């Protein structure tokens, strides 16, 4: 598209990060003396809510050998919308020195902000299971939780991405007689303030700039040449004296160099 094919896998990373936030929730079952008799890890899977409801409805009386066990958590990406309030100047660029060649720069225009909507659905068969899971989630969102994500490894770009809990709702899907399976569903809606990145490009580094200046009038020909180049001593210290500097070919883009300026008559 637009003559430039690229893929950073950014949206996939957002899905993985969102799911990992809720991977590791456990339930405890207690007896009448408040002693823990069972500990269960709540499984989590990506998929639409309707998919889980269909699987539950296929075995309402628990007659099949294999059924969808509860409790369970499902999540899905619901949509993406442009976030104009977080937009920065489109002309700004991110710059990174190549890890394989210090004489090459990788550049990329700043990302485009997008709000990504997720829905987390909690399926349980009794109220206590649902409240246990909720109490392991809600305290972390006030109303947001921020993840630090390395979005573009090649550019060494790491962003703080907030995930905001917008609302919580509950639905009791119990219908029928006492032998019918009961399902309580909690829906938690989130907005992740993410970014989408464009293509990257590479270029060489300019290590010397020459400016020919006119000092006499009328301007017939240049009379002075101004040379600006990086300055770095053999001990790794920045310098503005080119006579003390190592050759510019030995200075890398990520060195802590100074700027040496020389003016000569021509």
pLDDT confidence of residue 174: 59
- The percentage of residues in the chain with a pLDDT greater than 90, rounded to a whole number, is 35
pLDDT confidence of residue 2: 65
pLDDT confidence of residue 65: 47
Examine the pLDDT at 73 and tell me if it is beyond 70: yes
Higher-pLDDT residue of 63, 14? 14
What band does 68 get if pLDDT is binned at 50, 70 and 90? low
Examine the pLDDT at 40 and tell me if it is beyond 70: yes
pLDDT confidence of residue 259: 87
The mean per-residue pLDDT over the stretch 241-255 comes to 82
Examine the pLDDT at 67 and tell me if it is beyond 50: no
Average pLDDT, the chain: 83
**pLDDT one-digit tens code per residue, 168-186:** 999 876 555 555 556 788 9
Higher-pLDDT residue of 93, 56? 93
What are the structural domains, with CATH classification, of the chain? 10-202 (3.30.2000.40), 207-265 (no CATH)
Examine the pLDDT at 204 and tell me if it is beyond 60: yes
**pLDDT one-digit tens code per residue, 84-115:** 999 988 888 888 776 666 667 788 888 999 99
The mean per-residue pLDDT over the stretch 245-258 comes to 82
Higher-pLDDT residue of 203, 198? 198
pLDDT confidence of residue 260: 87
pLDDT confidence of residue 93: 84
User: Both tokens of residue 181?
Assistant: 């399976």
What band does 80 get if pLDDT is binned at 50, 70 and 90? very high
pLDDT confidence of residue 62: 46
CA-CA distance, 185 to 229, in Å (whole number)?
Answer: 66
CA-CA distance, 231 to 245, in Å (whole number)?
Answer: 5
SS (H, E, C) 6-55: CCCCHHHHHHHHHHHHCCCCEEEEECCCCCEEEEEECCEEECCHHHHHHH
């Amino acid at each position: 598209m637009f003559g430039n094919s690229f893929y950073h896998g950014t949206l996939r990373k957002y899905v993985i990060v969102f799911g990992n936030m809720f991977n590791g929730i456990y339930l405890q079952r207690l007896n009448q003396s408040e002693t823990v008799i069972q500990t269960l890890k709540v499984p989590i899977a990506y998929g639409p809510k309707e998919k889980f409801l269909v699987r539950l409805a296929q075995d309402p009386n628990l007659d099949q050998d294999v059924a969808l066990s509860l409790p369970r958590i499902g999540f899905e990406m619901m949509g993406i919308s442009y976030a104009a309030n977080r937009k920065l100047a489109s002309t700004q660029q991110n710059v990174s020195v190549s890890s394989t060649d210090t004489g090459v720069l990788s550049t990329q225009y700043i990302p485009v902000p997008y709000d990504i909507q997720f829905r987390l659905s909690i399926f349980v068969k009794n109220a206590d299971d649902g409240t246990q899971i909720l109490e392991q989630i809600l305290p972390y969102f006030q109303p947001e939780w921020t993840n630090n994500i390395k979005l573009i490894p090649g550019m060494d770009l790491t962003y703080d991405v907030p995930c905001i809990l917008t609302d919580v709702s509950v639905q009791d899907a119990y219908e029928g007689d006492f032998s019918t399976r009961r399902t309580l569903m909690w829906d938690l809606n989130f907005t992740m303030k993410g970014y989408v990145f464009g293509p990257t490009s590479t270029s060489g580094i300019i290590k010397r700039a020459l400016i020919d200046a006119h000092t006499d009038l009328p301007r017939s020909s240049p009379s002075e040449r101004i040379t600006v180049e990086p300055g770095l001593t053999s001990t790794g210290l920045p310098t503005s004296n080119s006579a003390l500097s190592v050759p510019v070919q030995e200075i890398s883009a990520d060195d802590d160099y100074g700027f040496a300026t020389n003016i000569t008559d021509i």
